[in-house]
Amino acid sequence: MAATLALTCSCKAIDHQNPSPRRAKGSNTIQKRDPTIKQRASEPARIKKYQAKTVKTSNRSQELSLIHALCSYVDYGSMKHALNLFENMDKSDSFVWNVIIRGLTNNGFFQEAIDFYDRMQFSGVHPDNFTFPFVIKACGESLAYVEGMKVHSKLLKVGLDLDLYICNSLIIMYAKLGYIQLSERVFGEMGIRDLVSWNSLISAYVLVGDGWSSLMCMQEMQAFGVRTDRFTMIGALGACTLECSLLCGKEIHGQVIRRGFELDSMVQTSLINMYGKCGVVNYAERLFEGISQKSIVVWNTMVGGYAQNGLPLESFACLEKMRYSDSFEFDEITMINLLPACAQLGAILHGKSIHALTIRKGFLPHCVLETALIDMYGTCGEMKPSERIFARMRDRNLISWNAMIAAYVHNGQNRVALEVFQDLWNEPLEPDAMTITSVLPAYAEIALLREGKQIHTYIIKVQLSSNTFIMNSIVYMYAKCGDLRAGREIFDGILFKDVISWNTIIMAYAIHGMGSISIELFSEMREKDIKPNFSTFVSLLSACSIAGMMDEGWEYFNSMRSGYGVDPGIEHYGCMLDLLGRTGNLDQAKCFIDELPLTSTARIWGSLLAASRHHRNIELAELAACHISSLEHDNTGCYVLLSNMYAEVGRWEDIERIKFLMRNQRLEKITGCSILETNNRTYRFTNHDRSHVDSNVIYEVLDIILRKIGEELCSYEVSKTKPPDLARRRANSTKYHSVRLAICYGLISTSLGNPILVRKNTRICEKCHSAAKKISEFTNREIVVGDSKIYHHFRDGHCSCGDYW
């Protein structure tokens, strides 16, 4: 190059000193040419061409430097600098667009990546086979179904729909969007499949929660002779975790050892997670201890494994060991795995400390972490923080909605839970199995049978009726809403009945006072080799207690530990206390409480209070109410019951004292109401209610019925010390109670022979209970009244509760 430049300079000098010869004016003679004239004449063009080439080379070098800097920014995750640089670059090449879209996708800016893809096309730059995989991933991660379908349509248009790498990305995208059928279709139409294709489909099934299909896909893959790799094993272990299939997990573990993947850190973590989710913590611990170099992921998995298996103290101990033995600092996943341990312990202060720490560390906003916080606060009974977190969440996924619904249900705010469920329908999300399972108890507790039937119809429509977990909830919902027949039909239709299915149907008959059928179901359960658990005996002993089956109750209670290896809990002791209360041996019941190996709860003292009320023992009732109020400060039921007992014996000063205590603690008596559903409408009645349009007819018919059953001849026990005005009100106090009005309207508005179902938010009083028995005999109709404790089935003048509730 130096020689050329020297030559160019010398040529320029010659040109200036010796101009080119010209034809002499008026002469035909041409002057003699210099031999270098031709060469010198072409030099300016060569110089211009070289100068353009030099500028082009310089621009290309600068462009390459910018591209190199752009790639460096993207690789280091500095997207702010990358975007600033991108705006000052030449954007005619698809490569720079691909780099920025890749960077946005890999750094979690999924919607921004989709926006840049649209901007790229608007700028006239055509996306290529390197663009689409990252755009597809962004659509999947951001749940952008419409954009994903547009990208797929573009692929069909440009002929890249069969590109191997792109098809593998489409399989995962559709799975993340919840459309596994489209993933299967993409996989089925692929002309060429590699190992990644099979692994993608295996992972796709795991993403939609279909573990069995994932395992079947792995078997089919092996049948085609495709050799598995570490990612295959990780996907299959995830499938075993979903299905809680320990046997399949052990088989995959054997393949891991045979293929030599047992030292792979990701595979080890998946194995620990699988064993933890399957409840075999000792296997998980053995694998965990065998890892010499433990990563933060392994530690987090073990912390979560302890919490998932109800070992919260071990979970905290594992965290301490992680921090001080291996000097690991916790991350977001550590907090997510630790929060359930706080919920199990009811350690709200620890949970708040973790919440504060996540804020200081800058972990929030984080959708999964915020969801875990909602669940923790909800389980600990702190709904205000749960509501604030949920309201401030930027990106709510379906799991977040499910957690909020479950929190409201757990804290007895069932109507609010149903409102949140209704709000969910306005979101671009579809309820899943967990949503339905979370919200069904709310329908059950509020006893909205008509709306419960609607959600049952939806379950059938979206083909979730084969889900055992959901159908168990449906059985419970029908039983709690009073339709025991429908609950039994659903139970009989469950193909794969688990222990929860049997526990639910046993409890269903228990709360309807049909203890003998509960015992028959328990015998049938044992014949089918279903091992009873803790909850089974709660259901069974409740059945014995409600039905007054004394001998059977004690037999099952005494055989729990010896015959089935189940240690009695406070719930079982409460059922046995109910049985003792039936015999009227209240002194023995009091000794039973004093000798309890567990701390007495409000439920225990409530059983004693109910027994004292039934047998008119005011002194013991006062003792029980005192303990209940110390354990549950907002329990108005014990005050009301005690007040009623005082009224029956004319202790009016004590009644005023109870009222003063309630006012002082700002407690209000629950307004009793009865609900009747008929003609696709719900009717609510309160005591002496005249708001119904047919009130005149209802009162006239009720008066006729009460005369027919001799109710007007009943003398009311009124103390001589009772004021005259209070005596008059008390004499007529039960005549027009809400349950009587509801029963009467049910007789008027329903067809002959059909049972009448009434639900009451408080316990039915003795006089209304007696009246309902007589009405059932007089009208020859079955009357079902569900109060706050059980369902009373009145037939032919008798009640299923045996007159003890």
d(CA 204, CA 213) in angstroms, rounded, equals: 10
pLDDT > 90 in the chain, percent:
23
Q: State the number of CA atoms in the 13 A half-sphere of 644 facing the CB.
A: 16
Q: How far is CA 739 from the centre of its chain?
A: 37
d(CA 174, CA 145) in angstroms, rounded, equals: 8
What are the residues facing 676 on neighbouring strands? Answer: 683, 758
Say if residue 37's pLDDT is above 90. Answer: no
Say if residue 465's pLDDT is above 80. Answer: yes
Q: State the number of CA atoms in the 13 A half-sphere of 65 facing the CB.
A: 6
Average pLDDT on 550-569 reads 88
Maximum mean pLDDT: which of 433-447, 484-498, 542-556: 484-498
CB 437 within 8 A of CB 421: no
CB 475 within 8 A of CB 491: yes
pLDDT range class, residue 747, cuts 50, 70, 90: very high
pLDDT range class, residue 32, cuts 50, 70, 90: very low
Q: Three-state SS string across 175-194, please?
A: HHCCCHHHHHHHHHHCCCCC
Average pLDDT on 587-604 reads 85
pLDDT range class, residue 58, cuts 50, 70, 90: low
Name which of 104-118, 131-145, 549-563, 624-638 the model is least confident about: 624-638
Burial class (CB in 10 A: 0-12, 13-18, 19+), 29: exposed
Name which of 3-17, 491-505, 646-660 the model is least confident about: 3-17
d(CA 510, CA 508) in angstroms, rounded, equals: 5
Note if the bond before 21 is cis, omega within 30 degrees.
no
Say if residue 505's pLDDT is above 90. Answer: yes
What are the residues facing 683 on neighbouring strands? Answer: 676
d(CA 431, CA 401) in angstroms, rounded, equals: 9
pLDDT of 340 reads 92
Cβ-count burial 687-724 (b if 16+ within 10 Å, e if not): bebeebeeeeebbeebeebbeebebeeeeeebeeeeee
Average pLDDT on 628-645 reads 80
Name which of 81-95, 417-431, 489-503 the model is least confident about: 81-95
Burial class (CB in 10 A: 0-12, 13-18, 19+), 127: buried
Helix or strand (DSSP H, E) at 315 = helix 312-325
3-state DSSP call for residue 757? Answer: strand
Say if residue 669's pLDDT is above 50. Answer: yes
Say if residue 787's pLDDT is above 70. Answer: yes
CA angle 504, 509, 511 (to 5 degrees): 90
CB 676 within 8 A of CB 757: yes
Say if residue 359's pLDDT is above 80. Answer: yes
pLDDT of 59 reads 61
**Residue keyed to tokens 């919260």:** 312
Q: How many residues are recorded in the chain?
A: 805
pLDDT range class, residue 347, cuts 50, 70, 90: confident
Average pLDDT on 14-21 reads 41
The encoded tokens of residue 640 equal: 């009301």
Say if residue 30's pLDDT is above 60. Answer: no
What are the residues facing 685 on neighbouring strands? Answer: 674
Say if residue 35's pLDDT is above 50. Answer: no
Say if residue 19's pLDDT is above 50. Answer: no
- Give Rg (Cα) of the chain: 39
- How does strand 783-786 pair with strand 756-760? parallel
pLDDT of 44 reads 55
pLDDT range class, residue 712, cuts 50, 70, 90: low
Q: Is 679 left (phi over 0), alpha (psi -120 to 50) or beta?
A: left
Cα(first)–Cα(last) distance of the chain, in Å? 108
What tens digit of pLDDT does each residue of 203-222 get? 999 988 888 899 999 999 98
The encoded tokens of residue 201 equal: 């489909």
pLDDT of 504 reads 93
pLDDT of 733 reads 64
Q: How far is CA 372 from CA 382, 399, 431, 468, 760, in A?
A: 14, 10, 19, 25, 36
Average pLDDT on 160-182 reads 89
The phi, psi pair for 760, rounded to 5°, reads -125, 140
User: Around Cβ 497, how many Cβ atoms within 10 Å?
Assistant: 18
pLDDT of 36 reads 40
Average pLDDT on 466-486 reads 89
pLDDT of 506 reads 94
- How does strand 783-786 pair with strand 673-678? unpaired
Average pLDDT on 431-452 reads 83
pLDDT of 196 reads 92
pLDDT of 475 reads 93
Say if residue 774's pLDDT is above 60. Answer: yes
CB 175 within 8 A of CB 139: no
Mean pLDDT of the chain: 83
pLDDT of 60 reads 61
pLDDT range class, residue 232, cuts 50, 70, 90: very high
Say if residue 743's pLDDT is above 90. Answer: yes
pLDDT of 370 reads 92
Say if residue 27's pLDDT is above 80. Answer: no
Say if residue 508's pLDDT is above 90. Answer: yes
Residue 81: name the closest of 69, 96, 91 by CA: 69
Burial class (CB in 10 A: 0-12, 13-18, 19+), 425: exposed
pLDDT range class, residue 657, cuts 50, 70, 90: confident
